Structure 1
């Protein structure tokens, strides 16, 4: 699965890579090289991050689903119990 980002996000990511190289590597990286590096990271490392995010969401959803019966439980056959309680209260 190829991870796609918007043109605007790609533009900002390339600018960020260029700045990172300038400030931390003390050398300049060109726009094309920064774009190629971004493409490499998206293809090579992006799926790792994506899969971890999916696993995290799946875990959270499983916890929420397991709590559904607690949060939304209704006792069955309550009509006559309610009726009997009203009778006793009179």
Structure 2
């Protein structure tokens, strides 16, 4: 698995969301520097689990679509004489 790397725009947006969450839900202020460290912590600690769940979900969708494709192919079969 590759390390999760966020663009500066993505990180900036997440920092804003973390700061807003702390303000609205916890009635605490958090600085941008602290919010960025918190984001890095969550990525490091939760990233692999979320990544693996995404792979599992993608595999499930892929398997469902392959089953559907199998049925479509069966419908294309011509009767043998």
Alpha-carbon distance, 1:42 to partner: 1.0
TM-score (norm 2): 0.82
Alpha-carbon distance, 1:66 to partner: 2.3
TM-score (norm 1): 0.75
Structure 1 segments (4+ residues) deviating >3 Å: none
Q: Which structure's CA Rg is the greater one?
A: 1
Equivalenced residue count is 79
5+ residue gaps, structure 2, are none
Alpha-carbon distance, 1:67 to partner: 2.6
Q: What value does the CA root-mean-square deviation take over the aligned residues?
A: 1.8
5+ residue gaps, structure 1, are 82-90
